[in-house]
Amino acid sequence: MSRIGQTFAALKAQNKKALIPFITAGDPGRGMTVPLMHALVEAGADIIELGVPFSDPMADGPVIQRASERALANKIGLKDVLAMTAEFRKINTTTPVVLMGYANPVERMGYAVFAEAAKAAGVDGVLTVDIPPEESAGVADVFKAAGLDPIFLLSPTTPESRVELVAAAAGGFIYYVSLKGVTGSANLDMDEVAQKIATIRRHCTLPVGVGFGIRDAATAEAVARIADAVVVGSRIVNEIETSPESEVVSRVKTLVQDLRRGVDAASK
């Protein structure tokens, strides 16, 4: 069982839900990422989603787009992200790390080369937004052969036939995009989210994480009542963007602690 699988199994045994915060590697500075990763864990993160900076992040809204721009200005590339993960692993050998990004940097490195390098660095899962399951033939197999969980997105408009396709190809967990739009979009309709999760679970035994639109402890609690994991990105990245650099780590830690309390309240 992968580290991701072990994490979800341990949480289920405790009747708890996972909190998965997202940050962009290299934002706000090259030396900030590993300290931020450790702070996320200290604040209650169960899994870390680490964004690989990319020039055309089509699934991301303005907040995470700007984070990619800042990281690219800091000369952060895929090899740097792997090096940061390896540095994180020198202290933390248990918290799963999922790389979230786009196909171009991975394809340029070569899927097999990337997969082996990612596994060696301590990566556990890969979410490549623009490699849908229909185009993942071979790629998901390469990732799985290296011990990486290929993670795929589902959305409010995904038909049941495609849910089955994703369930067959995916590993680790299913990432349900709760809104029609990019990251950082507007308010959630919890009834609609609950109905879609029920549909996903009819076809898939993997845990279901919900992301997009989760901004505070209250929405984190509401999502945790119906999902296996709560994914928070734009709200955390916005905190990074708006904080003085000397206060970034402490402010992010405080925010994630609040989100943790919300997630845990759902289990009481």
Catalytic residues: 49, 60
112 burial via Cβ count (<10 Å: 0-12, 13-18, 19+) = middle
Contact 224, 262 (CB under 8 A): yes
- Kindly report the backbone phi and psi dihedral angles of residue 194, in degrees, each rounded to the nearest multiple of 5, phi listed first: -65, -40
Contact 100, 129 (CB under 8 A): yes
Using alpha carbons only, give the angle 229, 79, 125 rounded to the nearest 5 degrees: 25
Q: Please state, in angstroms and rounded to a whole number, the distance separating the CA atoms of residues 189 and 103.
A: 31
128 burial via Cβ count (<10 Å: 0-12, 13-18, 19+) = buried
Q: Please state, in angstroms and rounded to a whole number, the distance separating the CA atoms of residues 63 and 23.
A: 11
Contact 51, 23 (CB under 8 A): yes
Q: Please state, in angstroms and rounded to a whole number, the distance separating the CA atoms of residues 185 and 183.
A: 6
If one counts every other C-beta atom within 10 angstroms of the C-beta of residue 9, the result is 11
Q: What separation in angstroms does the CA of 85 have from each of 34, 131, 152?
A: 8, 22, 21
